[in-house]
Structure 1
Amino acid sequence: MESGASLPVKGHHVHQRHFDRLVMLSDGVFAIAMTLSAVELKPEPQPGENLLHAWVGPLLTYFISFAIIGSVWIRHRRTLAHLRYVDMPMTLISLLLLSLVALMPVVIRVLLSDAMGANSTGMLIYSVTLMANYACLAVGWGYAAFIAQLAPDVPRSRAWGWLLQELFVAIVFGAVALYSLHLKLVAALVMLVGAGLRVASVRLERSAKAGALSGGEAQAPHGNTNPGQ
């Protein structure tokens, strides 16, 4: 046992430990945010309103929020799954994302407490927070794939496609925020930009799949041609 304890800690062991701790922290924050979102459900029937009707809005908001948080987790998991290691900037970007995810239960409470509907302050805060979540995902993936080269196994076309996917969702929520501010024309123009990014991301993804099928990406390390997770 003493001889085993005297073995040196090599560089790849350190990187793996850093990576594992980031994954554990991320999963914990996402799990708590999803759970606390349900705690915020406290519908109170208004005079003349039955309990079933009072539950419809809060439950719909909860399930939509759960799906969105789950989508953020899936995309963050995809990013981490393709990294060879994490450095300090990537760690800080992930921590910023997790801080926004942890705010979601509070944001949901604000949304539920605001009875003014889609043009309310609650909707504005909700959409801006989600826009910031996906903007962080885009920044994190952009840094990892194109600046720090932390994901060299992902083909360039697929990396660009994933980046545009994150930007597309961020822009959609940005358009919702603008709509909440009654800037309907600006919101529509922003949505058009988002639609263009979405079309471009789909084309890039198809290009990546076609390259994989034709053997153009066969030289990628570890044979990583999985377009999904």
Structure 2
Amino acid sequence: MPDETRDWLSRNGFAVTEESQWVEALTHGSFNGGGGTSAALEPDYQRLEFLGDRVLGLSVAGWLYDHGTFPEGKLSQRLNALVSGATCARIAREIGLPDHVRLGKQAREDGGADSDNILGDVMEALIGASFIENGFDQTRDLVLRLWDTDLSGDAGKAKHPKSALQEWAAGNRRAMPNYEVIDRSGPDHAARFTVRVSIHNVGEAEGVAGSKGEAEKRAAKAFLEKFG
């Protein structure tokens, strides 16, 4: 691991003892045979991402339970917003993660270091590595510090745009919204989806994002702004 990466991890609260977990967390699949210097295949972040996703979810869910008396639906709404790929990617950018992701040459040239999908996944993988090395309590405290602004803010308090649009349609006696992917561009690790949402006899709007779900959300938001 480069000294600058180890220093960066330490500055952001990731306590590194055994480097291999952290190198794995920072390694995208494209690094193998796509710009990596080692002849042997190196583990990528996917297994640690799986683990970190659960640790992140439990950490945030515990905080939400302790800081309010909201019903289950509201808790789920906030949790989904706080642990979303978009939120993870934004926090990853805020702490400077893009400079330390290990990507293959082509993936880096294609913009992989700024991909919401990759950054969100690596952020979760780092949480997984922290859990393995330092246990749940220390990792939870790390998550709550990194997520502090979001936890104390309005993330997830407003109704999800797709739910809001569905309720708007029902309230105005309109057909239910129809979502359609009208374009998909870019490589898998840096894909861009364009989604069109339409309501019969009302109109349509579009949204573009790095995932289908986020593009649908943006399309619903655009529709409400245009016709709501």
TM-score by length of 2: 0.31
Q: Which has the higher strand share?
A: 2
Q: Which has the higher helix share?
A: 1
| Higher CA-based Rg | 1
